[in-house]
Copies of this chain bind each other. A is one copy, B any other.
């Protein structure tokens, strides 16, 4: 037996006990003829005292950092206690020890603040994982996993494993594929999600399913995306949207309580997609702070009608606004006294390629009620006052305006809002604000990328199994999805169809998304047709699902949470990589394993493939 106690366990009340302990040498401090060693393991640090005789032995064969040590000894009360340490009242008076393994000097320091660069730490991930910060992340991840499982278990969900070697049905993202040796020329695919399987389980009558499951997407990696990622994947039968929102609002609150000790008592806010786009410029607003957008001019439709027509700003001869499709404003409170250089810096910020705007118009509402503005010569004081009023600005505030094409401008102002919120200290790591967003459009218009200018097609905003809102089912069934004229696609009945879908947003991040699913064969076939799939293609790819809908499919719906992201946010971090034990880098490589890598000719031959 290597140990009777771990390094975080012993207290004053254990004084006098004979114990065994094992762990890593954190520090070695020699004081004259005796030596103190801090011994570390997963649970904590315990001070070891080596007396004169043992210190002589240590002098001959010194301990180094990260050596693995096993000691026998007696628990003793410390003369100088350390109140910062849970074991700070005691030390181990070592009677004998053995070095279980030596350690070379690590390539970076294993401390909270390390000197190792990212690449080095990825290569030696097993050492980086020793650092307290990563350990806390990995432990938090397990705590979230455990809490989610416990909640779902209590609510009658059962964990059912779905297969990893499935069929390639590329829709949107690319599949990773796996050549089959036993079926030459054929391939499995790794699942992008267990979507169709969980729906089949609903058809089978397992009315509450979950899985904490790996999913795979062969995408060009953006920062902080991983080719393999984990979902908390859930599905329920005999439910409407409201049932799902309540169930999973409950789950997230339970996780908050269990993992962070936070009582999230209030109801989770709810917002339609249109409202989110209108007020915040994107569909996952960070509502820890206000700073809503003022829509001075926009073609954006709410409830089927255009709400902002630009009356306030058109007609003044300012070409940038006159010619812009969209003009949006933010009111930055108490920033009316910003200097020229501060404003220039903000202008540069919106001109960065990631934001891509041409410029930033500002209106400084002075404390005395007067205005200073970059568009003084086009707008008189009365006009500026009206603009300020529509932005709910008061003397002392700064109004920032962006103009341009609708989509880009809205995206840019959403980014600017987040940036200003960040700079203003509104985005606090330890404040958590949940939000449900729903009533997304079911379809998006996609330009035909094979021949520019030609008629495009509908793509599913979520996925092809998402049901329309009940009121829109008739519209979907009774109309021809074909787009006759690309210019007027917005007038096509399909453009107004809303999805029976919902996203859960936490602090400006989408942490979960789901929908009520189609469960009737006729409607599912109509959906595939709308997405430009022939009957044959639909049968080839999803015949099993269409078949299943023939045999008594119940109404059902579900949700999937991005587990990596959820953990990162709960841990107060932006980087999912710090919450994955063995992540890949931005090129999809495992730096530690050096994978992917070439394989043998023999393997290729067995798989009946060649390199192209």
Q: Which residues on A are within 8 Å of B, measured CB to CB?
A: 1-3, 6, 22, 24, 40-42, 66-68, 70, 100-104, 106, 124-127, 129-130, 135, 138-139, 141-142, 145-146, 149, 153, 158-168, 170, 174-190, 197, 200-201, 203-207, 214, 216, 218, 220-221, 227-228, 230, 238-240, 242-243, 519-520, 543-544, 547-555, 580-582, 584, 587-590, 592-600, 603-612
Question: If the complex has contacts A101-B554, A103-B552, A204-B130, are A1 and B165 also in contact, measured as CB distance less than 8 A?
Answer: no
In the complex, chain B residues whose CB is within 8 Å of the CB of A68: 552-555
| Interfacial chain B residues near A204, Cβ < 8 Å | 126-127, 129-130
CB distance B605 to A612 under 8 Å? Answer: yes
Q: Which of B3, B238, B552 contacts A2 (CB 8 A)?
A: B238
Contacts of A611 in B (CB 8 A): 184-185, 608-610
CB-contact partner of A584 in B165, B185, B238, B604, under 8 A: B165
Contacts of A159 in B (CB 8 A): 142, 145-146
Which residues on the B side are within 8 Å of A162 (C-beta)? 581-582
CB distance from A71 to the nearest CB of B (A): 12
Asked if residues A205 and B24 are in contact (CB atoms below 8 Å), the reply is yes
Excluding A141-B160, A180-B596, 15 further A-B contacts by CB distance (< 8 Å) are A41-B207, A130-B204, A145-B159, A146-B159, A161-B580, A164-B190, A164-B228, A165-B584, A167-B597, A168-B597, A174-B181, A174-B603, A177-B607, A197-B581, A610-B610
Cα–Cα, bound, A265→B129 (Å): 40
For A201, what are the chain B residues with a Cβ–Cβ distance below 8 Å? 126, 129, 581
Which of A141, A188, A604: most chain B CB closer than 10 A? A188
Chain B's closest residue to A582 (CB) is B163
With A160-B581, A167-B594, A609-B612 already in contact, the answer to whether A106 and B551 are too (CB < 8 A) is: yes
- B553 contacts A595, CB within 8 Å? no
Asked whether, in the complex, the Cβ of A187 is within 8 Å of the Cβ of B129, the reply is no
| Copies per complex of this chain | 2
CB nearest neighbor in B for A196: B593
Given A2-B555, A595-B166, A595-B167, residue A548 in contact with residue B126 (CB < 8 A)? yes
Once the chains bind, are A135 and B186 in contact (CB under 8 Å)? no
What is the chain B residue whose CB lies nearest that of A125?
A: B200
Q: How far is the CA of A142 from the CA of B207 in the complex (A)?
A: 14
Query: Which residues of chain B have C-beta atoms less than 8 A from A142's C-beta?
Result: 158-160
Question: Which of B40, B104, B206, B612 is close to A42, meaning CB atoms less than 8 Å apart?
Answer: B206
The answer to whether B203 and A161 have CB atoms under 8 Å apart is no
Interface centre among A40, A41, A165, A207 (most CB of B within 10 A): A165
A599 and B127 contacting across the interface, CB-CB below 8 Å:
no
**For residue A104, which residues in chain B have a CB less than 8 angstroms away from its CB?**
550-551
A189 to chain B, nearest CB (A): 8
Cα distance, A1 to B241, chains bound together (Å): 10
A197 surroundings in chain B (CB, below 8 A) = 581-582
Name A179's contact: one of B125, B145, B177, B200 (CB within 8 Å).
Answer: B177
On whether the beta carbons of A544 and B186 are closer than 8 Å, the reply is no
Complex-state Cα separation, A606 to B594, whole angstroms: 22
